[in-house]
Structure formats: C-alpha cells, structure tokens
Amino acid sequence: MNKHVPLQEINSRMERFRAKMDRECPDWQMAAIFGKLNQYYFTGTMQDGMLLVPREDEAVFWVRQSIERALDESHFSVLKPMKSYRDATAGMGKVPDTVYLETEVVPLGLYRRFQKYFPFKEARSVDFQLSMLRAVKSDFELDLMRESGEIHRRILEERVPSLLREGVSEAEFAAELYVVMMEEGHHGLARMAMFQTEIILGNICFGESSIYPTYFNGPGGNLGLCPAVPLFGSRERKLRKGDLVFIDIGCGVEGYHTDKTMTYVFGGSLSEEVVSQHQQCVDIQNRVAARLKPGEIPSKIFADTMNSLKPDFLENFMGFGERRVKFLGHGIGLAIDEIPVIAEGFDLPMEEGMAFALEPKKGVKDIGMVGIENTFLVTSAGGECITGDNPGLMKVY
C-alpha cells in the first residue's frame, strides 16, 4: 500500500522552507522549483510541472501532466493544470526582479522558456537551502528509511550468498539480485542527484572489476556492460573461486533510500594483509559513526580521521590509483548522494534527524575493493545503524 505523504508533513515542509528563506535570503520574493525530487518533497506527487512559491501569496503546483494523478496522490493545497508557462502567469501580478531557482537542475533551454513568460532580471540559487532543508528528516521520513534499511540488511546479509555460484556473470547475478530486491519491497531504482548519473542498482563486481575506472563519484569501480552503460555488471566477468565479491547498492522505500556495501569471499580465502586492510576500514566506519551526534562538524570528523591514518594505508584509500574520492560519507534521503558530506568544506554542525552513508573503502591491486558501507542516523548517542552490522568478507562456498 502506497504511503501518501501526509498533509501535516506537506504543510510543515513548506513552512520550514519559507522560514529558512526569510532567515537566509531576506530579500527573496519568489522561488520556482522544477526538480522532480524537490517537487515531490513539497507536494507528495511526482509530475511534469512547476512549483511556484511567492513570498506573499499561496504556493501553487502548476501541473502539465498529469493533473488527474496529482489530485489523486497529493495533499498539497493548490494544484492547477497548465499547458504552458503562459497559463501560470495569469493573475500573478508583477514578476519580481529576482527569482530563486535550482541552478543545479534547470537547463538553459528550460530557463529561457520560463523567463519568456516570467521576465525576471536575475536568477539566484536555492539549491543549498533546499538541500539542507531535506537533510533533516522528519519521523515520517526516518520510518521509511528504517524500513528500507531492514530490507537492505536482509538482501545483502541473508539472501545474496545463495545467489552466488561459480560461473555466473556480474550481469546475470545483477538481474537475479534485482528480482530479489523487488520481492523484498525495494521501490525499484537508485536515485542520484549527481548530474547525468544513471543507476539501476549500483556496483556489482567480482574481483578486480571493483577497482576498474569509472566516472561515478565513489570509491568503487565497475566494468559495466559496455562503454555506453558503464555502471552495471559485465556479461564477460564471471565468478571464480577465490574472488572477492563487492556489492554496493542502493535500496529504497516510497522514495527514501539507504546505501550499503557488502563484501564476500567466494570459494576461497584472502591473505591476512587484505583482511587486515578490510578490518581497518570497518574500524574507521565505527569510529566515524560514534561521532554522528548533533553539533559535530562533518569537516572536523573528516580531518581528524584522515590525519589518524598511516601513509601506507592511505595509498589507494577511498579509491584506486589516481581515481580517489575526497569524502568518507555522504548524506542520503530522496537521493543517495545528498548533503552534508563527511568532507572538507562542510562546516555546519550536524542536527538530529540527518542521515549519512559511511563508506571507508580501499582498493587492493589484483584483488578488488575491500571496505564497508552502512547508513546511519544522527542521534545524541551517536550514529544509529539502520542497515545491519555484518562486518563483511562473508565466506561463501
């Protein structure tokens, strides 16, 4: 049964957005929201349309398609049909000189079409305000994430080992895994905020495939199906005895995600050195998780952690070779890659209700990517893990 976003939730989000804009952008007069994730956040429906939020008037979700579905799904107070932006200008009054837009989302062509009917002079970014608003989850949102986390745990800690068998290809295994995820209650895709990033599941990797170069902004690699589809399992790479299996996938319920990575050792064993490197990654996750408390500073956690690591361990930490990422974890919610990030430059204190995926990982030549990832909630007692506590390197025979 679909969980439509409650009216109280819808009203609270818009009230908090207006209050945030009043504090941080005191001269704002209008925000126009085109991104589907942000539209869903405020309205509870995902349609082709435009959400206009005037400072001194009621917000209106103008829907091109489908107004019928929007009315069925949404508790938002004002939903109106439109065929073009011209419809939305009727009765609006004077358009302010400055309009706040999602500059990370709106392409130039859409911008020009919008400006044709809303002749503002300047556009300013509202991306940060929207992202930080979404970063602090309500109980309604956290319950959905906990549900996703339990599904995620069952899939990777209980069901995956029975799917691994000698000779299965990464692509074949990924297809079987997708069926299992849908059986368990996954909402069907892994949404990313990163520009032009397309993911169905995540990184499904046998052996050295997990350190193969890719454009994706994460520690792991992926052979992919072909150059045009680089983020999916390979048809050619098949599971062999002794392989390290690296599975980094997103899971979600009703739009809200968790992120988890599990590693498995298939039909063999790894050297003590590789196992030790993996265990160090698990230890790093646990140390960082203990600091996920209100008031902690993400950039300080990142600096303290990185400064504590020995130079030899830092080689190929959070990537492999020249392709390494500069974070230890990331916010997560309606998209897998949200802010704040456990990285330099994120200096605002954490708040209760934030969620982070922590993913310390290390590439090992000729072996693959060791390490771990789980999703945690910020609490006064430290990070609450919602995706399970298996340390990885599960032996599968």
* pLDDT tens per residue, range 308-325: 999 999 999 999 999 999
For residues 171-177, give the mean pLDDT. 97
Give pLDDT tens digits for 42-52. Answer: 999 999 999 99
pLDDT of residue 138: 98
Q: How far apart are CA 354 and CA 172, in angstroms?
A: 36
Average pLDDT, integer, range 197-208:
93
Kindly report the number of other CB atoms within 10 A of residue 97's CB atom: 12
Chain length of the chain: 397
Question: Hey, which CATH number is domain 7-134, 3.40.350.10, 3.10.310.30, 3.60.15.10, 3.20.20.410?
Answer: 3.40.350.10
Q: What percent of the chain has pLDDT over 90?
A: 95
- Distance separating alpha carbons of residues 162 and 219, to the nearest angstrom: 26
Q: Band of the pLDDT at 196, cuts 50, 70, 90?
A: confident
Specify the pLDDT at position 93. 79
Question: Domain spans of the chain?
Answer: 7-134, 137-396
Q: What pTM does this model have?
A: 0.96
Band of pLDDT at residue 191, cut at 50, 70 and 90: very high
Helix extents (H) in the chain:
7-24, 36-43, 67-73, 85-89, 108-117, 127-135, 139-153, 160-163, 170-184, 272-290, 298-307, 311-314
What is the rounded average pLDDT for all residues in the chain? 96
Q: What pLDDT score does 22 carry?
A: 98
pLDDT of residue 131: 98
> Of 60-74, 95-109, 140-154, 221-235, which gets the smallest average pLDDT?
221-235
Could you tell me the two tokens for 211?
A: 């350190």
Query: What is the rounded distance in angstroms from the CA atom of residue 45 to the CA atom of residue 154?
Result: 29
Determine the 3-state secondary structure of 294 from DSSP: coil
Query: Residue 332's closest CA among 282, 386, 286?
Result: 386
CA distance 290 to 350: 13
Q: What is the CATH number of domain 137-396?
A: 3.90.230.10
CA distance 138 to 136: 7
For residue 278, report the phi and psi dihedrals to the nearest 5 degrees. Answer: -65, -45
Q: Which of 212, 20, 209, 196 is nearest to 107 (CA)?
A: 196
For 116-164, what is each residue's pLDDT tens digit? 999 999 999 999 999 999 999 999 999 999 999 999 999 999 999 999 9
If residue 204 lies in a helix (H) or strand (E), which one and from where to where?
A: strand 202-206
Lowest mean pLDDT among 86-90, 238-242, 244-248, 266-270: 86-90
As a three-state string, the secondary structure of 246-267 is EEEEEEEECCEEEEEEEEEEEC
Residue 151's pLDDT is: 98
Please list, in sequence order, all residues whose beta carbon lies within 8 angstroms of the beta carbon of residue 124, skipping any fewer than 6 positions away: 25, 98, 99, 100, 101
Nearest to 248 by CA among 309, 319, 299: 319
* Phi and psi at residue 374, to the nearest 5°: -145, 165
Q: pLDDT value at position 2? A: 60
Q: What is the mean pLDDT of residues 162-172?
A: 97
Per-residue model confidence as pLDDT tens digits over 57-67: 999 999 999 99
Query: Quick check: 192 and 166 in contact, CB under 8 A?
Result: no
Judge whether residue 94 has pLDDT over 90: no
Cα–Cα distance for residue pair 357/355, rounded to 1 Å = 7
Q: What is the DSSP letter of 169?
A: B
